[in-house]
Amino acid sequence: MKVKPDSAVPSACVDAEGAKDVAMQVLIGPDDGSRAIIMRLFTVAPGGHTPYHTHDFEHLVRVQAGRGVLIDAAGEKRELSVGQNVFVAPNEKHQFANPFGEPFQFTCTILNPERS
């Protein structure tokens, strides 16, 4: 069993193409003993955004702080706030952006691509 606060988890800038001012923390992952699932926390600074991209794995997202915008495959935007949950299916194009003035934080949980 492992217990840790966000503040004990290192943060790394997301340097993927199309990402701007996004930091990621692996809250629970393989280093904690989790074989199947990885829970990450993303912090998007005001003016920042994740890549507008697709991938073959599903995202389970939950807003933790601030507000943001979800852009879907059709380019439509939906505002997100604390207590909103988002399911992104495999291969659905999506982007998370923060046009607001406070940091936008969400957890994004995925299958461990190297799960045993």
Contact residues for its own copies, defined by CB under 8 A:
1-7, 9, 27-28, 32-37, 39, 57-58, 60, 62, 64, 70, 72-73, 78, 80, 83-89, 92, 94, 107, 109-111
Label the pairing between strands 77-81 and 20-28.
unpaired
- CA dist 91 → 24, 88, 96 (Å): 21, 8, 15
* Of residues 12 and 89, the one with the C-beta less far from its own copies: 89
Structure tokens given for 72:
């879907």
Whose Cβ is closer to its own copies: residue 18's or residue 90's? Answer: 90
C-alpha 22 chain-centroid distance: 9
Q: Quote the CA–CA distance of 18 and 61 in Å, as a whole number.
A: 19
Shortest distance, CB of residue 61 to its own copies, whole angstroms? 8
Smallest gap from residue 114 Cβ to its own copies (A): 14
What is the nearest approach in angstroms of its own copies to the Cβ of residue 46?
21
